[in-house]
Homo-oligomer: A and B are copies of this chain.
Amino acid sequence: MKFKKTHDIDQISISLEGKQVVIGGWVEDLRKLGKMSFLTVRDVTGLAQIIVKDIALPEDLTRQTVIMVQGVVQGTKARDFAYEIKAEAIDILTKAVHPLPIDPIGRLESNIDNRLNSRALDLRNQRVAAIFKIRSTVLASLRKTFLEKRFIEITTPKIIGSASEGGANLFSLEYFGKKAYLAQSPQLYKEQMTIGLERVFEIASFYRAEKSHTGRHLSEFTSIDLEAAFMDYTDVIQILEDLVVQVFKDVIANCQTELAILERKLEVPKTPFDRITYSQIISELSQKGIDLKFGDDLMDSHLKLVGESHPGLFFLLDWPMSLKPFYIHPRDDDPKISRSFDLQYGYLELSSGGRRLHDPSTLKARIAEQGLDPASFEDHLRAFDWGMPPHSGWGMGLDRLMTVIIGTDNVREVVLYPRDPERLSP
């Protein structure tokens, strides 16, 4: 590199008029007009117009070729630009092949499979880059709220020695001659961590070997997890609501450019989110001619109907115990009903959580009741004898939350390199 980049494009403005700058970026367009050429160059922060007049234009400037430009900032008559850069020197760093496998400007639409096969190039599309800039902002927002609420960030193991949590849908691997599994959630570990750290969170990749082919399932996904001692499920529901609202506020405040590129109008959700019980949903569905009885699971087709009458964010509370994992705590007033909830966005489940059992003997009984092998839970159950506090928590799919923010029905749009039963590369 002959020059050193002095500015990102969005750091240049007409206030630097007459000053020399060096930018680096990708050739987006080139127009020749007599002895002058107009070159547009894009970096991750924006687009700049370069005037090439008194110096020779390098030959063979294919689109997406990487260049550095040294030049002087000056005023412009161009409608789309607030300034232009009069080039003094142009250095070609890497030529891009022609033709490219997809059109990174997005004028020609490519299907999602072709785009994922060329994901690095796909990110030169401003719409795609905008999604992943927003994702980075969402992650920062989530962690800020967790830390403000005095949660401690933990990292749980992803390689686990026993097929806990039910055991279905786990990827298995050989681990130095032993059989191991990839964790599908930090559930048991985060519960144990409440003994020493009380309030913990983790945002990490987890794995599910499920042969799903939908727009909302992936084999590798990012999970946002929280667990808190001395809290009931109503407390962690409130935290979840605060967290989601703050995410919307931070994206609206910090991603104006990206939302504009996506033509996405985002509004802070109204609070409090509706809190609707499972039993209310059952009677709503019965009014629509769907006859379910207490204990029946809500199938996709039912949730679509629910989503029609409740299109936004709402909590679906108090599921039957029989539909919930072994670690969920019943209500005191009716042990058939659990202290559990889902956060729904219409028909889409974003998060699931609840109060957990903390009494070791009740927990042991529930594991046996659900037909699970208590031996798989030996390590976990031991911890409940050491002073396990009452605790509640939830897990939320970051990728699903991102689909709601971006406004897409395919989770592959918001994951850089999605993994599903058919896709293992690039």
Contact = CB atoms under 8 A, between A and B. Distances in A.
Contacts of A123: 193, 195-197
A197 B129 contact: yes
Interface stretch (A52-60, A149-157, A236-244, A281-289): A149-157
Interface string A61-105: 000111010000000000000000000000001111100110010
Contacts of A380: 426
B358 A196 contact: no
Interface string A133-168: 101100110010001001011111111111000000
Contacts of A211: 176
A198 B156 CA distance: 30
A364 to B, nearest CB: 14
A410 interface: no
B176 A174 contact: no
Interface string A176-196: 101010100000010011011
Given A153-B136, A153-B139, A193 B386 contact: no
Given A143-B143, A152-B132, A173 B171 contact: yes
B153 A379 contact: no
Interface in A377-402: 379-380, 382-390
B207 A421 contact: no
A108 to B, nearest CB: 15
A132 B190 CA distance: 14
A5 interface: yes
A153 B172 CA distance: 29
Which of A45, A94, A150, A421 is most buried by chain B, counting CB atoms within 10 A of its CB? A94
B195 A386 contact: no
A250 interface: no
Instruction: Pick the 7 closest A-B CB pairs, nearest first.
Output: A123-B196, A379-B426, A161-B424, A96-B387, A64-B387, A120-B192, A161-B425
